[in-house]
Amino acid sequence: MKLVPIEKRTGLTREEFIENYLKPSRPVVFTDLAKDWPAVQKWTFEWLRENHGSLDVPLVDNHIHDADKYFQIAKTMKFGDYLSLIEKGPTDLRIFLFDIFKKIPELADDIRFPTIMDGFLKSYKFVFFGGEGSITNLHYDMDCSNVFLTQFQTRKQVILFSPEESRRLYHHPFTVMSKVNPLDPDYEKFPALKGATGYETILHHGETIFIPSLWWHYIRYVDGGFSLALRANNSIFTAVRGGMNLVRHTFVDKSMTKLLGIDWQHWKEKKAVENAQELVQKQA
């Protein structure tokens, strides 16, 4: 497996972005897309703790995608206590897909929706928090939106793969998930992964990565910190595909998981292997 550095750009115009990154579905890191946001200077651990530390927040851990614990909340903490926890050192506890703007609507005044493209979904914005060493497993986003992920205060490692690599990544059918770990690839278990090409960067405070629609991403918190994800949709076809993903997940995957339990998980793993082997044989 090969990992290629993701290009970082300053002063990228709307026209350049659309022609060179959006249309060809190519990732890029903006160094200055969020430079005028009040949040870039304002949202520190100390400020969030002092002003909003009493909020109760749900936390997940690295078992979030296990078949028997799918998206279960691991525990609940006061926001201020959680911020102190991730400042101190490693933990796998994360705030994941929790809409903090519904609880603290004034935070929305501290961000600006970019004009770099049209189609931003202003109702769908999430701040993700995690401790040093915590990870978001390899997946692509179910709604198929383009994602603009802006990092605050600390560092985050982001690894991306194009949709063309799905079979090499052992994509589990009826899901948007893969069990591959690109930081510790198991070539015995996943031999097709050897031929995959990914894209990698370390995201720093104030930087924004553009993750194109349908691109796989794996995220590791280099330090305890947080980032804001904004979503944009430039095509009716990706919106339709996102709806189909939701139907597949809700009516097929969840139903079969409830019906068959771990046997359904084993079937998906087996099918992912078969699909990868078929690809390798075709290209041999």
CB 219 within 8 A of CB 155: no
Q: Average pLDDT in the 85-99 region? A: 91
In angstroms, the CA 110 to CA 112 distance is 7
How does the average pLDDT of the chain come out, rounded? 93
In angstroms, the CA 206 to CA 4 distance is 22
Q: Name the least confident of 160-164, 168-172, 279-283.
A: 279-283
User: pLDDT at position 238, please?
Assistant: 78
Q: Average pLDDT in the 28-34 region? A: 98
User: pLDDT at position 73, please?
Assistant: 85
* pTM attached to this predicted model: 0.93
Pairing of strands 216-221, 156-161: antiparallel
241 pLDDT above the threshold of 90: no
In angstroms, the CA 82 to CA 73 distance is 14
User: pLDDT at position 67, please?
Assistant: 53
pLDDT tens, 252-284?
Answer: 888 898 888 889 999 999 999 999 999 988 886
DSSP bridge partners of 136: 219
Q: Which helix (H) or strand (E) holds 179?
A: none
In angstroms, the CA 282 to CA 284 distance is 6
In angstroms, the CA 196 to CA 257 distance is 29
The domains found in the chain, sorted by start residue, are 2-283 (2.60.120.650)
User: pLDDT at position 71, please?
Assistant: 58
- Token pair 């769908």 is found at 124
pLDDT tens, 182-236?
Answer: 999 999 999 999 999 999 999 999 999 999 999 999 999 999 999 999 999 988 8
